[in-house]
Amino acid sequence: MSTETLTIGKALNLGLRRAMEDDAKVVLMGEDIGRLGGVFRITDGLQKDFGEDRVVDTPLAEAGILGTAVGLAMRGYRPVCEIQFDGFVFPAYNQIVTQVAKIHARSRGRLAMPVVIRIPFGGGIGAVEHHSESPEAYFAHTPGLKVVAVSNPVDAYWGIQQAIAHPDPIVFLEPKRRYWDKAEVDTAATPDPLFASRVVRGGDDVTVLAYGPMVKTALQAAEAAAEEGRSLEVVDLRAISPLDLDPVFDSVRRTGRCVVVHEAPVTLGLGAEIATRVTEQCFHSLEAPVLRVGGYDTPYPPSKLEEEYLPDLDRVLDTVDRVMGF
114 near 78, Cβ under 8 Å?
yes
pTM confidence score: 0.96
Looking at 131, 166, 262, 284, which residue is catalytic? Answer: 131
Q: Would you say the CATH fold of 198-325 matches that of 3-186?
A: yes
* Bridge partners of residue 82, in order along the sequence: 30, 118
Exposure letters 25-34 (e unless 16+ CB within 10 A, then b): bbbbbbbebb
pLDDT in tens, 36-79: 999 999 999 999 999 999 999 999 999 999 999 999 999 999 99
How confident is the model at residue 2, as a pLDDT? Answer: 83
141 is catalytic: no
How confident is the model at residue 133, as a pLDDT? Answer: 96
270 near 136, Cβ under 8 Å?
yes
CATH number of 3-186: 3.40.50.970
Q: In the chain, which residues have pLDDT < 50?
A: none
Give the SS3 label for residue 186: strand
- The domain locations on the chain are 3-186, 198-325
* Distant-in-sequence contacts of 303-308, Cβ < 8 A, 24+ apart: 303/126, 303/127, 303/128, 303/132, 306/123, 306/124, 306/126, 306/132
How confident is the model at residue 1, as a pLDDT? Answer: 59
- DSSP letter at 97 equals I
CATH number of 198-325: 3.40.50.920
